[in-house]
Structure 1
C-alpha cells in the first residue's frame, strides 16, 4: 500500500558537527541531529532555543503605530470614554479579546466587548455592527485578531468621529484601512523583527506597552491563542508559549481549572497537545455553534461556580460539534466516493441543512482521506450555498477560486483554505472551473504532500530516554514540528480497530524482543492492509499513553507504507453482498457465477472473466471463485502482476470435492463389477438406491459413472446406464474428468484448506516466481 504523503528523509548532518555540538551543549547526538536539521548549528542559537524566556520577547514599541495606539487608549481611559474591544469567534480571537479586556479593566478603563455572530455577520468589522456600537455610546474601537481588511466599516466609524485602532496579524490587503492606528507585525512601514505573531500575540504586545511592563498574568491566554491559531512556534512565539504553558500548569484562573476538568486534562501536565487537541477546540466550538462571548466570560471570570457552569456548557457545545462533524463527514465521504467524484481531481460537496460552523473541519477530513482539494457547502434558506474549502500543497485553492471571483457572493482565503458563498445557479460553473484549474497544474500527476522524516530508528532504540531527550525541543508546532520517526519492525502484531465505530487503529511493532505501541486515529479501515502486509514502515510522533495511571511509550501514526503485494484472506463458503465492498476488479472463473452476482458489485467496481483479456481497474484484484486448476491461476496472477497492489481471495466453491476425496480402486472395482452384471439402470430414478447398494456417496458415484462413460466402460442413453461388454482396457487417470477432479482437489488443498500463511506463501511464490513481490513503498 502506498504512503499517503511523499516521504522526504532529512539529510544526516556531518558526524563531526554532531559530536562537537553534543559535547558543547551536553545533548544526546540524536537531539543534536534534530536541532541541526531545524537550522540550529551553533552553541549559542541552540542554547537560546532550548531556554526560551522573557528576555527573548521583543520590545512592543518596535511595532508600527504602537506608541500612537497606546497614547490614544490612555487618552480614552483618562476621559472615561467607552472603549469597545471588537474581537473574533475562534480561540485566537477569544483569548485576544480576553487579554485586551483584562488589561483595560486593570487600568480603570470604561470597556466592553463585541464579538460578531459567525452566521449572521461573519468574520471581521461590519458597518451595521459598528453603527450599533456607536449608537450605544462607543467612543473608541480596538479590534483584536481582525480589522486589517475592514476598510469600509472603519472608514464609516472614523467619519463619525470614532477612532478605530486595528490590532491584527492576518494577510495585508492591497489597501490598508483608514484606521487611527494599525498595529500589525508585518505593517509595510514597520520593521518589527518577527512577523508571525498571532492575534493574541499582538494583543499581548499592546497590553505590555500599556502596562509598561511584561503582562505576566497574560502568558497563559497568549499560549492558548498562539497554539490554537497554528502560527510559527519560533522566535518570540516559542517564548510566549513556553512561559504560558508553565503558567497554565499552575494557573489559578477558575476558567482554566474548570476547562481542564471537563476535558479530562491533568492541569499540572498541560502541554501544547492539551491545548491544540482539547482546550482550543472547545473554545472554537462556542463560536462554531453559538456565542463566542461565553469563552471570554469563562477565561476572565473570578467566580469558580460560574466557571464550572460555563465549562460544562462549553463541553456540551463541543460534544455537539463533534457529533455534527461525525455525521456530516460520513455523508460527505459517501458523496466523495461516488463514481463521478472518484473520477474528479477536486470535490464540491453540497447538502441542505449541514451546520455551517463545522464545514471547514469536514473539508479537512475529506482532503485527508482522498487527497483532493475539497469544498464543503451547505444550502441555506435563501437557496445560496456557503461553506469552506481545504486543499493540498500542490493546489493553491485561493488562486484557483480567485479565477472565478465573479461567480461568488463572497470569497476569501489562502493557499490551503478558503471560505465562500455562492448562488445555486453558479455552482456548476465553479465546480467545472476547479477541475479546469486542476488540469492547468496537472494535479492528477503531482506528488503527494511532503512529509519530512527526521530519523529512522529500529524498534529497540525507541525508548523512554529517547522520548525525554526529544522533549527538550518542545513546545512543538508550526515550523518546529514534533520529530517524525520512521520505524520498520520485523513484525506487526495485535492489529485491531478500536472505538465505538471502529474508526481508529491500534497495533504493535515488534523487533528483537522489543515492542512499540502505535495509535492511528481515523485509520480503522486499514486493519486488513496492515495484517496482510509482508513489511510495514510506520512514520509518526513519539509520545506517551496514560491509562489508569500507567504510562507507556506510544507512536502516534502520521503515515505508513507497505512493501510487497498485500494478500487479504476473505475465503468463504457463502458469497454475501457485504463481501463486495471493495473498489476493485473482481475476477470470476465461472461465467454463470459472474452473471448471478452482477448486482452485488459496487458502481465503481469492475467484473471480468478469468478466461478473457482484461486490465485491472484500480489497484485491487479480487479472486471471487476457485480456479479449475492452479496453472490457470498462476497464469492470471503473473499476467497482471504489475497492475495490482492488493490481492483479495474469496475462493468460493459451488461444488467442493477435496473433502470427499478420490474414489479408491476398490470402490471403482465394485462399480465395474456391478455394471458387468446389471443392465438398464435408470439413473434418474435409481441413482440413490445404487449409491446405497454400493456404499458410496451419491456425489462420488456420479463422478465415477462419468469416468466410466468417458473411458467406454458404460453407455448412457436417455438416462439409462448399461455396461459395455468386454470394454477396452484404460487407465482411470486418463479420463478427463478424473484429471479435472485431481486438479480441483489440488487447488482446493492449496487455496482453500490451507492456513493464511501457507496461502500467502504460495501466492507470493507464484505472482513473480523469479523476481519477488513488487514494492510499492513511496
Structure 2
C-alpha cells in the first residue's frame, strides 16, 4: 500500500517549552503539540486523565427531567425497560444502565432487538411487546431513540413515558419524549458531542447517583462505585470508534485500569477468549480482539447473549458464555469474508469505478449482520466511501463506511429523498431503501461525495510526528509513549521518522513478518529491535534513507523489550 508521507511541523518553541516542563523527549513533546496539547496544564491533564475532571452531568440538556422521572419510578416500584442496540456500544450501554438501576433498587428489564427480525431502534412493534406485555411504565433508550418519533408518540398514547439517551445526530425535530439526552441536540451546552452511547448512559448514572445521594436514597454502604463500571464504558467507547479525546480518554483510561483488576467476570472471560492479558490490556486489544467478539452475537445471532455475558456474576457461567460468543465470532468471520469476496466479484462484473468516488452495491444474498464489516474492508481496499445493501424482496438494509475526509451523515442527509430511513455518524451509518431508488441514490450519493471532498481526501497518508535518532530510543522513551495512551481516533499512536538508518535483517516470522535491528555502526549504543508486519515481499536495504515507525513495549511472558513497529522504509 503506497502512502504519501506527511511530516508534521509542530511549533518548535512550544515543543521546547513542553519538553522542558515535562522532562520528556522532544519527540514526545512534538507528538503532543501535534495533538493540540501545548500548555503545561493541558499536558498534565492529558498524561494523567482523572475522573475528577469530568464535567457535571447536568450540563446535558434534560438531565434533570430524566433523573426526576427515574427516581419517581424507583420509589413507586414501576417497571422500567432499558431499550438498547445490538452493537457493542449498545450492548455495553444496556448492561451498564440495567446493572446500575438494579443497584438503585429499580424494577428493571432490558430489551435488545434482533437485528434481522426487529431491525434497529425503538419502533412501533415494541409497544405491544415488550412494553405492554411486561407492563412497562418507563422506557429508557440507550444508544438509540433519537429517530424513534412514531414509537415514542405511541408509547405516550399508551400512558408510557420515554427517556431517550443517544449520541446520534438528531433530525430537525427532536422526538416527543419526556426527556431527550443527546449531546448533539441543538442548544445542548455540554460540549460532550464526542461521547459514545455508553458515555451518555454513564453520565445519566453519574447524575442519578448524585441526586439519590442528595435525597438520602442510598442505603448505607450500597451506593455503587461508578469507576468500577468504566470497563463497560471503555469497551463500548472503543468499539464505537468515537474520538479518544477529552472525556472519552478519561473514561477509557479508567476502564482499562479496572480491566487490569479483573473485577467483572464477563469482561475477564471476554478478554481470555480474545487472547488478551487483562494486566496489559490496551485500546488496540479492545478494538481488534474484544469488540469484534462482543459485536458477533448481534450480527449473526442475538445480542442478548452479549448483554448476559457483561452482567454475569459467576466466573464459570461467564467463561461458558464467552466461548459461545467466540464461536459466533468465528462464524461471523467466515460470513464476512464470503460477503467481501462476493462484493469484489460483483464490483468486477457490474461496476465501473472510473470517474466515481464511491461504491454503492446491492445484492439479495448478503447477510445484513456482516455487510458493515465487508464495507469497512472495501474502504481499506479502495480508499473511498462504500455502501453495501442487503436486499430482501423490494427493501434493502444498508451499511455505509467512509474515509476521514468524507462525512457520511451529511452525504446521506443530502440523499434523504431516496431513502426510507437513515442514521449514524460521519464515518459509519445505516440506511433503509426501496429497490426502485437504488440507481438514483447511487448517482446522488457519488455526486455528494465528489462535492464534499477534495483530491487529497482520497490519498493514503502516513502522518509522521517527529524526527528522532533511533539510538535515543530506550525504556524511558517507550514509557513516555505509553503515557500518551489510550490511542485511537483523534489520538493516534505517534509515528516517528529516522534517516540514514543502518539495518540488519533478521528472520521472517509468522505470516511474512520481518524482524530486523536498527544500528548505528558505532558499537557503543544498544541496537533497536524492529519488526515489519506483512512485509514478506518488501526490499530492506542495509542502510535506509528513511524509516517511519511506531515505538512500543514488546511484552512476552515475563520479558519486555522496546520495539519499533515499522510503517514504511525508503531507500536513500
TM-score by length of 2: 0.87
Question: In 1, are the aligned partners of 2:81 and 2:110 still within 8 Å (CA)?
Answer: yes
1:162 has 2:146 as partner: no
2:321 is paired with a residue whose SS is: helix
Q: What is the count of residue pairs matched by the alignment?
A: 551
**Distance (Å, rounded) in 2 between the aligned partners of 1:22 and 1:443:** 36
**How far has the Cα of 1:498 moved from its partner?**
4.3
The counterpart of 1:46, out of the listed 33, 43, 50, is 43
Deviations 1:366-387, CA, capped at 9 Å, x for gaps: 111222322223343x254433
Counterpart residue number, 2:222: none
**How far has the Cα of 1:71 moved from its partner?**
1.2
Structural mapping, 1:83-232, within 5 Å: 83-136=80-133, 137-212=135-210, 215-232=226-243
Deviations 1:437-478, CA, capped at 9 Å, x for gaps: 556568668651554321233443443432211111112222
The counterpart of 1:57, out of the listed 54, 57, 61, is 54
**How far has the Cα of 1:507 moved from its partner?**
4.7
**Distance (Å, rounded) in 2 between the aligned partners of 1:464 and 1:342:** 48
Counterpart residue number, 2:537: 528
Question: In 1, are the aligned partners of 2:89 and 2:240 still within 8 Å (CA)?
Answer: yes
1:506 has 2:514 as partner: yes
Counterpart residue number, 1:304: 315
2:370 is paired with a residue whose SS is: helix
Aligned-CA RMSD value: 3.0
**Distance (Å, rounded) in 2 between the aligned partners of 1:119 and 1:142:** 22
**Distance (Å, rounded) in 2 between the aligned partners of 1:493 and 1:21:** 36
**Distance (Å, rounded) in 1 between the aligned partners of 2:554 and 2:516:** 14
The counterpart of 2:18, out of the listed 10, 16, 21, is 21
The counterpart of 2:438, out of the listed 424, 427, 434, is 427
**Distance (Å, rounded) in 2 between the aligned partners of 1:367 and 1:402:** 20
**Distance (Å, rounded) in 2 between the aligned partners of 1:80 and 1:187:** 31
Distance 1:517 1:341, change over 3 A: farther
Q: Which 10-residue stretch deviates more, 362-371 or 181-190?
A: 181-190
Question: In 1, are the aligned partners of 2:169 and 2:185 still within 8 Å (CA)?
Answer: no
Counterpart residue number, 1:360: 372
Deviations 1:492-533, CA, capped at 9 Å, x for gaps: 84585843xxxx64353644354542343xxx4x64354699
Counterpart residue number, 2:476: 465
**Distance (Å, rounded) in 2 between the aligned partners of 1:458 and 1:335:** 48
Counterpart residue number, 1:79: 76
1:170 is paired with a residue whose SS is: coil
Distance 1:189 1:323, change over 3 A: same
Counterpart residue number, 1:285: 296
Distance 1:294 1:543, change over 3 A: same
**How far has the Cα of 1:276 moved from its partner?**
1.7
Question: In 2, are the aligned partners of 1:2 and 1:561 still within 8 Å (CA)?
Answer: no
**Distance (Å, rounded) in 1 between the aligned partners of 2:456 and 2:286:** 37
**Distance (Å, rounded) in 2 between the aligned partners of 1:537 and 1:366:** 30
Higher-RCO chain (CA-CA 8 Å, sequence separation at least 6): 2
Question: In 1, are the aligned partners of 2:498 and 2:548 still within 8 Å (CA)?
Answer: yes
**How far has the Cα of 1:96 moved from its partner?**
1.1
Deviations 1:329-388, CA, capped at 9 Å, x for gaps: 2343454456954535332344443322121121111111222322223343x2544332
**Distance (Å, rounded) in 2 between the aligned partners of 1:442 and 1:66:** 37
> Gaps (5+ residues) in structure 2?
214-224, 522-526
Question: In 1, are the aligned partners of 2:169 and 2:423 still within 8 Å (CA)?
Answer: no
2:194 is paired with a residue whose SS is: coil
The structure whose Rg is larger is 1
The counterpart of 1:273, out of the listed 279, 284, 293, is 284
Question: In 2, are the aligned partners of 1:459 and 1:509 still within 8 Å (CA)?
Answer: no
